Amino acid sequence: MSDFTVLVIEDEPQMRRFLRSSLATTDHALLEATTGREGLAAAKTHRPDVILLDLGLPDVDGIEVTRRLREWTKTPIIVLSARGQDDDKIAALDAGADDYLTKPFSLPELLARLRVARRHSSELGQKADAVVVLGEVQVDLASRVVTRAGEEVRLTPIEYKLLATLARNQGRVMTYQQLLKDVWGPRYASQKQYLHVYMGHLRSKLERDPARPRLLRTESGVGYRLKVD
């Protein structure tokens, strides 16, 4: 079997048959999922080299699937969709897709896009871990589950987004402005009080001694860093 794996997240049987037969003569190993949730689970379990993603899935919209994938992986994503409007393409690319093919498309065009994605995938090197281990705290970026000493920690959506942003950049200093833009949006780039409040919430839930944090570090006057001694 090829060591280059393509995950197809597509609910249309005809399209899956076309891709299956088209890629059978190449050196690509194929995985299939018919819903967004199945695709997210398969991406976490099998860690494919490239993902072919339909936007019109029956459960989770493909753009949302792209956003969730981009929370923990840089695997190249090629969107396959009947939506040909520029707004749809821009939304998919803004969400983190690498490329976009409008249905119907030809096999040579698909293979050309896959060759580009394959080069990109090889340049990424070692695939990032979906689970970030921080001492007794674990952040599963694919499942959006946080545990401490084996027990699940309940976080609000904002608390989770802040922690996940720090976890994806473990060891790096994230400035106040960077965090505010990533978590709340560009309009909130100067609202440091939001960060201070939510960082306090996270420390109370994750630190052994929230008054003397070892995990969620303050870089005075600059921002925060996620670090384990």
* pLDDT, position 126: 44
Tokens at 6, concatenated: 């393509």
Pairing type for strands 145-148 and 4-9 reads unpaired
Most confident of the following: 24-33, 115-124, 186-195, 208-217? 208-217
Tokens at 130, concatenated: 């979906």
187 vs 111: CA distance, rounded Å: 41
* pLDDT, position 79: 93
Preceding omega of 76 cis (within 30 degrees of 0) = no
* pLDDT, position 2: 59
Q: Which three-class secondary structure state does DSSP give residue 13? A: helix
**How many residues make up the chain in this entry?**
229
% of the chain at pLDDT higher than 90: 59
* Domains assigned to the chain: 4-124 (3.40.50.2300), 131-226 (1.10.10.10)
* Bridge partners of residue 188, in order along the sequence: none
- Kindly report the number of other CB atoms within 10 A of residue 78's CB atom: 20
pLDDT digits (tens, 9 = 90+) for 46-85: 999 999 999 999 999 999 999 999 988 889 999 998 876 7
How many Å separate Cα 29 from the centre of its chain? 22
* pLDDT, position 14: 95
* pLDDT, position 119: 82
Of 98, 141, 143, 140, residue with least CA distance to 123: 98
Question: How confident is residue 27, by pLDDT bands cut at 50, 70 and 90?
Answer: confident
At residue 30, what is the residue type? L
Sheet containing strand 77-81, strands side by side? 28-33, 4-9, 50-54, 77-81, 99-102
At residue 211, what is the residue type? A
Q: Which residue has the higher pLDDT, 3 or 220?
A: 220
Tell me, yes or no, if the pTM score tops 0.85.
Answer: no
pLDDT digits (tens, 9 = 90+) for 158-182: 999 999 999 988 888 888 988 998 8
* pLDDT, position 7: 97
188 vs 179: CA distance, rounded Å: 10
At residue 59, what is the residue type? D
| For residue 1, pLDDT beyond 70 | no
